Amino acid sequence: MLETDHFIRFERVGTVTRTERGLLAEVHTEQLRIDVVRDDVVRIAMSRGGVFDERPTYAVCVDPFAGPVPDLRVERDADRVRLFTDALVVSLWLDPFRIDVHRADGSPVIETAADDDGRYWAYATLNDAFTVRRRCGGADAVYGLGEKGGRHNRKGRDFTMWNTDVLSPVESAEFTAGREPGDPRGDRTSTEFDPYYVTVPFFYHQRYDGGQMAGSFVDNSYRAYYDFTAAEEYRIAFSGGQYVEYVFAGPSMPGILTAYTDLTGRAALPPIWALGYHQCRWHRYTQDDIEAIARRHRDDDFPCDALWLDIEYMDGYRVFTWDTEAFPDAPGMLDRLAQQGFRVITIIDPGVKHEPGYWVFDQGRERDLFCRTEGGDTYVGQVWPGDTAFPDFATQEARDWWGELNAAHVESGLAGIWNDMNEPATGTIPSAPMRFDHGRASHDRFHNQYALLMAMGTHDGLLRAMPERRTFILSRAGFAGVQRYAANWMGDNQSRWDHLWVSMTMACGFGVSGQPFVGADIGGFQGNASAELFLRWMQYGALTPFCRNHSEIGNIEQYAWAFGDAVHGHAREAVRLRYRLLPYLYAAFVRASETGEPVQRPLVFDHQDDAAVRDIDDEYLFGRDLLVAPVDAPGMTARQVYLPGVDWYDWHSREPVRGRQHVIVATPMDRIPIFVRAGAVVPMWPEAPASTAGYHPEVVELHLFVPTADGTMESLLVEDDGVTFAAARGAWLRTTFAVRRTGRELTVEALVEGDGYPESRRQAFRLVVHGADPATVLVDGDTVERADGAFLLANTGTGFRLTLQV
């Protein structure tokens, strides 16, 4: 339990004034603001020294009060002031001070907790720290907080919010020290270890009775603690900064996430090649080695879009350099790989070798762009090149400079940038003396934001270098809002079955926290994967948002072909399935860019009214329509799968299965359980291309899974050039399929938006019907007969109405 014994509670409210958007109150020596962002979202802020920090972090990327002022009503009585909107009621209790928020129907959103002596903890301080305590139920659930280990339901555990290089014995020591023997949190490789690389102080609280959800985002990047260990209350504490909290009334999880990403931004639509298969290994490659790996993928007919270079490609680990002995003609190599459909991405760390004469270091020092110490020295840490200086990304000048360096780096032909070691990791030298904003800001204020700021500079530089191309950046660390600029991977995981499992809960935690573009190193980064583990991880990883095979130097080879022909063949089929599903996956990313909804998400996101899904951690939804249940233990020949909500189809057998039940599913080595929602239209490519480069098929398959009950369901297909911003200007085809069943009649209405795009070659849809056996269908009144098990519908980008009898 988080100890708050010495905190000084704020107990009484003085003057309360009505403002345009809410209330301004005097509480002890500070001011309290309660402002309505929209009908179902309020912001609560407490001043420091009587002054409000209007920009506490870089997470919120909009003016939260730019929209119209909602209809407000204020009522006062002797005990409280109440602020009403159409969706919620905020109660500011005067003596004792507390803040409660309820929905219009009276259901609780947040309620201040009292201790055993009846004293309320709406806000308390100790030196620069502050804490709040809230009521909850013993059977309630908690989700979110971004990248966290263990179960997806966070109730019953406590967490630290501090970006950490997990496998560094120095940086993880304070979190493993003092643990009882056998405590998994004393082992930095444990799936229960905390904290990880990314901090997102945003979570959902789900009430056990009724399932309604509320959300909380504290806009503060200082070290924080979230304690959900007590049955009847939870505690939040930050070590510094101001208390600025956005409270989301919900009650739906998707609605809360949309409101949260309205504030912190959404992932931009990625280039489609970034959704392909990626091959990476930390290894001392040569130029010939990389080209040989490319040829092997093509010779094996193994789809692959991207090859990655870890730190060994550099000259002595100096960022923005090449080892010209190993890579004598990097631009030529990149050009030859591009002609074969490969993109190449290199790693870039923030640590700049502290070496006079090294041009990057000299530039940074001459322009005063490195972090300082309190005494004014350049802060020195220790990373791969030895002594290192760190760009002061809290300044616009340093971010601009970093963008210039990245822009020049990719001009050789690189497709994207991989940001690593950006917690920031400083090796054996403590990071605390590192200060920001030319030494004016403490380390604690910007530590958790460092990777976000690095991604901002990198993103802007890539846009300057390739203004018509969508950017791709992968980041290890991050903060709330990082989804605007970068994807995240889950860092240095282990080649272990429990790490395969925990990557599911981590991905789901990321997804409901606003970051849809995530994935774990397939096969595990550290250690030696067995053939079975590698295959099962490949089958699972092929159905995650980011799909990269990556492993550590010195381990056994972990290429797809390294484990023999049988594993190679099954892995190839898993990746081929991913490529055929890219139209479906791309549409899921379009939705993520528009609403924030996750690509890989827990069952509770779509089925929060189903109590059976609250603690399911070993299966997930991939987009709206596919349910994936990976194999996460050795020797598994069958596993239990829970199917929520509506009815489903087994992807492999195409047989319908009733929903809201547990089923036992066989798991032979060639597949893992996958189910598709009844009523879905799943768009697929007719084949798996070698890469996405230039691939625009003449036929797109539409797999229609006949709904088993009356009703309407929508599916989506989005087609564009996949690499530029032309789609944002209307150069795309967006087809929405509305599937409606009434008795035995089934209709599919296809509505098309967009102006089309020059690269499109589509001439037809190939409709495959599952769950019915019609010999003919009607398309806009014309009869189409089945041939080769499907219906060929001539179509180059127009809407249509299809009917059939089921």
What does the block give as tokens for 56?
Answer: 């506490």
Integer CA distances (angstroms), 783 to 306, 467, 773, 778, 805, in order: 44, 47, 15, 5, 13
Q: Are 326 and 313 in contact (CB under 8 A)?
A: yes
Integer CA distances (angstroms), 145 to 180, 224, 227, 466, 655, in order: 25, 11, 12, 34, 38
Type of residue at 335: D
Residues that are catalytic: 420, 423, 492
Q: Are 608 and 211 in contact (CB under 8 A)?
A: yes
Using CA atoms, how far apart are residues 727 and 282, in angstroms rounded to an integer? 36
CB proximity list for 796: less than 8 A, separation 6 or greater: 760, 762, 763
CB count in 10 Å sphere of residue 8: 12
Type of residue at 476: R
Using CA atoms, how far apart are residues 562 and 553, in angstroms rounded to an integer? 15
List phi, psi (to 5°) of 277: -90, 135
CB proximity list for 166: less than 8 A, separation 6 or greater: 172, 188, 193, 196, 197, 491, 492
What's the number of CA atoms in the CB half-sphere (13 Å) around residue 395? 21
Using CA atoms, how far apart are residues 573 and 668, in angstroms rounded to an integer? 14
Using CA atoms, how far apart are residues 93 and 81, in angstroms rounded to an integer? 7
Which of 520, 479, 517 shows the shortest CA–CA distance to 499? 520
What does the block give as tokens for 281?
Answer: 């290994």
Using CA atoms, how far apart are residues 699 and 687, in angstroms rounded to an integer? 10
CB proximity list for 352: less than 8 A, separation 6 or greater: 318, 319, 358, 360, 361, 364, 370, 388, 389, 390, 391
